[in-house]
Structure 1
């Protein structure tokens, strides 16, 4: 790929084809932020083809990586291979890769069905440095994988944890707000915040995720949740 400072590519296949050599040439540091394990699948494979001694690999994910057994298995393989992994309370807003502080790849938001996702490959030094600094900030405020597994969402206060328990129990918004002694508006605001942290697209999905986090201690299925 030419050394143009910013290049826009369409689809991960084109990203790997045109920028694969840059990924494969990583020597010191490979940083990756993604909402799920599929975002950079091809790019990550390209980086692994030519590992270097002393290479630092840091991967930052949202809670959605725990949604499937396949995702948990990938996390296990990554940690076994020596990658450092941390979990952000919410999916990273801007999915990115930074290679050796010299190259950054920024993924555009997911397109509608049938359209290829676009990726901006950046080699302008000041922009790459800025992207790397943002990654470091997100990294420092996230939780390492081992700690997260023991205590998901450790930064939640007791009010937020009460909402989590209410979601797991399947209470309606009205019933939950009465039980917690807060206004309906306040309860719904807290639910919206937790849905982001849980990487949930609906109240029902949030309830299922909450039950997983709480270890299935609530016998009531989340059927009473309002969509």
Structure 2
């Protein structure tokens, strides 16, 4: 990056072209706060950081990933996070949506993810120490208030019986309530009552939120067909 203190790019390819050397040369600290693993989708940047992680003993690199529960809704995502933890990264889960997704590299450059556009997602890149220090402080406050990955996954997971898990699978399948009730061999009224009970057990305000929380806890049900 030349002498700019702040500039914007659109799309992952332009972002990597302008900032890729920072990912390759990270020395002491790599911080990432994101809603889920799709925010930073450029595999070349991920690969660069993982290479530095593997050499962390030599460079004394601290890597911290702060994510929302949405990042845990898919088994593949949970497996990936456990993999990076095994390579030395620290992973914590914050209950908020983390709308202001960011990466801070060595406290010398910060990348803020913005809105999606037809030309790709917009990113703002800055080397302003004042801005970086301010966001770094906010990141640290959220980090200190967030449980690590395994603690979050197992800490508040409710116990679901076979019936509740079958209802959970029916919700995940996307079928209508009437179809789900027939497949489970229960009345429509009983099915909807069990859905309400499941939402209560998961402390969810909607069916969508129930699915997110069940995924975050790694809860799986049996097939309903």
Give structure 1 stretches of 5+ with no counterpart: 155-166, 177-190, 196-202, 222-227
Greater CA radius of gyration, 1 or 2?
2
The answer (yes or no) to whether the contact 2:112–2:124 under 8 Å persists in 1 is: yes
Deviation at 1:153, TM superposition (A): 8.0
Aligned to 2:142: 138
Q: Please list every run of at least 4 consecutive aligned residues from structure 1 whose deviation after the TM superposition is greater than 6 angstroms.
A: none
Shift in alpha-carbon separation, 1:204–1:5, aligned structure 2, 3 A: same
User: TM-score, normalization: structure 1?
Assistant: 0.69
1:43-192 superposed matches below 5 A: 43-50=45-52, 51-52=55-56, 53=58, 54-109=60-115, 111=116, 114-152=118-156, 169-171=194-196
RMSD: 2.8
Which structure has more relative contact order (CA 8 Å, sep 6+)? It is 2
- Count of equivalent residues: 179
> What's the counterpart of residue 162 of structure 1?
none
Q: Residue 141 of structure 1: CA displacement?
A: 1.1
Q: Structure 2 unaligned runs (5+)?
A: 159-191
Query: How far does residue 209 in structure 1 lie from its aligned partner after superposition?
Result: 3.5
Normalization by structure 2: what TM-score?
Answer: 0.70
CA distance in 1, matches of 2:144, 2:193: 29
Secondary structure in 2 matching 1:143 = coil
Deviation at 1:135, TM superposition (A): 0.7
Whether the aligned pair in 2 keeps the contact of 1:16 and 1:46 (CA below 8 Å) is no
For residues 79-113 of structure 1, what are the alpha-carbon distances to aligned partners after superposition, in whole Å with 9 as ceiling and x for unaligned? 1101000000122121000011111100003x26x
